[in-house]
Structures are given as structure tokens and as C-alpha cells.
């Protein structure tokens, strides 16, 4: 896509500074959770602790990546994690597996898992948990877009998070964005994982994600190709991969795209630290 014009970029930055100036009283800086260098810049230092955040999968096939994103955020917290899941989310996405948590750097003994029958109970349990300032993170995982999940419900969660200083993450598998009080909104997709070091070629390396910050009330948005470092409990920039030559018996990508004309699907192109879209 076309790069934003300098005047629009300057105006956007001016609006961000105005919103920051009207932030917490007394000029106090918001406490933040560092996520890693590629993401901390746009987020103004990390994920705001006293706020609501929401994350969606890029499509139905990326539900596992969305769950992995939630595990990564949970692993970065030093305090207990309260995770409430609607039964349908568990049936569709699978149980949270202890050894899998450990592989993300999350100690399973710090994870409090709650199962609920519907969206109303999921939100109610999350709201109740936000009253306990000893928690590191509250994760609410309703299924789809329940009727109770409206702007009023998200405002209640946001206010609770602000009072307790405990961040809350709304994981939205099979859900669609609606008006909400979330400070940030994420789109999560899986990305190719590089081979593991000192291992056979078929062994996968660290989990990799294509993340898009769709909404950021106090910062910038963008797309980022990152991988999760379970030892440092941080996201790092994914290494660039050399282009793969086209097989000799197949046309080059440019030739194939030219034959398809305007019907060629868009493809991701790495630009700087992020990813943009352009026609093939």
C-alpha cells in the first residue's frame, strides 16, 4: 500500500501527543509491560497495565496462533494469571496444555484456569478477578460475539483494570470487532518458523507471529513479523529469510502474476520492521 504522506504522519503524531497529555491525572506515566523492542516503540514502552486489550485471529485458521499470543503475554507477567474460557472456546481450540505453557516460558503453576458455560459468565468472572490487584493478567476468552459483549461491558472491564492496575486481555476466537473500550486491538496470524538451531532441519524453531496493531489509542499502529523468545519472555524481530528461487519447470512469480493480471491476490512484503500489503 502507499506510504502515508508526511503531513498526515505529523498530524497523527500530534493527535497522539494530545491524547497522552490528557492521560492520567498529575502527569503520572502509565505502568507498562515490555513486550520486546519491535513492539514497545509503537506501544510507548510496552502494554499498558491499567487497560483493556483485545486480540482477534486473522482468520479461522489462526485460532491456535491467537492462543499462542495469549500464552506469550501471560508468560511475560511475574504474577499469577487468571484465565477464564467459555466451554465452546475450549471445545473448538483445545485445552491449554501444561508442557506447552512451559515451552512458552509460562510456569503452569501460576495459571488459574476457569471454565464457564457462556459469554455472560465469562465476562462476569473476568470482572470479578480484576478486583484482585495481586494478579499479573486477566484473560477472558468468550466464544464468538455474545450479545452481552457490548461497549458497556468493555467499559466496565476497562474501568476495573484501571482501578486495580491489572491488565485484561480479551481473546476473541471466532469473534468480529465491535465498538469497545479497548486501548489496543490486535490481529494475530501464524508466520513461518525458522529451523531450530543444532537440530535436524525438520525441527521447528521459536514460534513466529505476524502481528498487526489495528488500534492503539495512545500510540502508533503497524504490522510486525516477530518470533517469541521463551527464555527472555519477549518478542524479537524475526530474521529475514532469503527468497526461494522458482523451480525450473514453473514460471517465475512475476511471470505468473503478469498472466493473472489484476486478479492476482495481494501478498505480504516486509518493509522495515513491519509488513505492508501490495498487489501481486
Taking a C-beta distance cutoff of 8 angstroms, is the pair 196, 203 a contact?
yes
Identify the band that residue 202 occupies on the pLDDT scale cut at 50, 70 and 90.
low
The lowest-confidence range among 31-35, 133-137, 195-199, 226-230 is 195-199
Would you say residue 207 has pLDDT above 80? yes
What is the rounded distance in angstroms from the CA atom of residue 210 to the CA atom of residue 145?
23
User: Which one has a higher pLDDT value, 185 or 196?
Assistant: 185
What is the rounded distance in angstroms from the CA atom of residue 209 to the CA atom of residue 62?
10
pLDDT of res. 266: 37
pLDDT of res. 23: 43
pLDDT of res. 268: 34
Helices 151-164 and 119-129 cross at an angle (nearest 10°) of 20
pTM of the predicted structure, to 2 decimals: 0.77
Highest-scoring range by mean pLDDT, 9-13, 185-189, 242-246 = 185-189
pLDDT of res. 30: 77
Would you say residue 15 has pLDDT above 80? no
Taking a C-beta distance cutoff of 8 angstroms, is the pair 241, 225 a contact?
no
Q: What percent of the chain has pLDDT over 90?
A: 68
pLDDT tens for each residue of 64-79? 999 999 999 999 998 9
pLDDT tens for each residue of 108-151? 999 999 999 999 999 999 999 999 999 999 999 999 999 999 99
Q: What are phi and psi of 75, to 5 degrees?
A: -65, -25
User: Which one has a higher pLDDT value, 7 or 43?
Assistant: 43
> What is the SS3 assignment for 267?
strand
The grid coordinates listed for 208 are 513466529
pLDDT of res. 189: 97
User: Which one has a higher pLDDT value, 21 or 231?
Assistant: 231
- CA distances (Å), origin 131, targets 126, 151, 156: 9, 20, 12
Would you say residue 241 has pLDDT above 80? no
What is the rounded distance in angstroms from the CA atom of residue 81 to the CA atom of residue 87?
19
pLDDT of res. 12: 57
The grid coordinates listed for 136 are 499479573
Would you say residue 81 has pLDDT above 60? yes
- State the chain's mean pLDDT as an integer: 83
Amino acid at each position: 500500500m502507499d506510504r502515508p504522506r508526511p503531513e498526515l504522519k505529523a498530524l497523527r503524531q500530534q493527535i497522539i501527543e494530545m491524547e497522552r497529555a490528557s492521560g492520567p491525572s498529575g502527569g503520572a506515566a502509565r505502568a507498562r509491560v515490555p513486550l520486546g523492542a519491535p513492539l514497545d516503540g509503537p506501544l510507548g514502552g510496552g502494554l499498558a497495565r491499567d487497560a483493556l486489550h483485545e486480540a482477534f485471529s486473522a482468520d479461522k485458521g489462526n485460532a491456535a496462533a491467537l492462543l499462542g499470543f495469549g500464552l506469550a503475554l501471560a508468560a511475560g507477567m511475574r504474577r499469577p494469571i487468571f484465565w477464564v474460557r467459555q466451554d465452546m472456546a475450549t471445545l473448538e481450540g483445545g485445552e491449554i496444555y501444561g508442557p506447552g505453557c512451559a515451552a512458552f516460558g509460562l510456569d503452569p503453576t501460576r495459571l488459574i484456569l476457569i471454565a464457564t458455560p457462556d459469554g455472560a459468565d465469562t465476562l462476569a468472572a473476568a470482572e470479578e478477578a480484576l478486583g484482585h490487584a495481586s494478579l499479573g493478567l486477566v484473560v477472558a476468552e468468550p466464544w464468538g460475539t455474545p450479545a452481552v459483549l457490548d461497549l458497556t461491558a468493555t467499559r466496565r472491564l476497562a474501568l476495573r483494570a484501571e482501578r486495580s492496575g491489572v491488565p485484561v486481555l480479551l481473546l476473541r476466537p471466532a469473534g468480529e470487532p465491535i465498538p469497545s473500550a479497548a486501548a489496543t486491538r490486535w490481529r494475530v496470524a501464524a508466520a513461518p518458523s525458522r529451523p531450530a538451531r543444532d537440530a535436524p532441519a525438520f525441527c521447528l524453531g521459536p514460534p513466529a507471529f505476524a502481528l498487526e496493531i489495528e488500534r492503539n489509542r495512545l500510540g502508533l499502529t503497524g504490522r510486525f513479523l516477530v518470533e517469541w523468545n521463551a527464555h527472555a519472555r519477549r518478542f524479537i524481530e524475526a530474521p529475514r529469510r532469503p527468497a526461494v528461487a522458482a523451480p525450473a519447470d514453473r514460471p517465475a512469480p512475476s511471470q505468473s502474476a503478469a498472466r493473472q493480471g489484476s486478479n492476482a491476490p495481494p501478498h505480504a512484503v516486509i518493509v522495515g520492521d513491519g509488513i505492508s500489503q501490495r498487489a501481486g
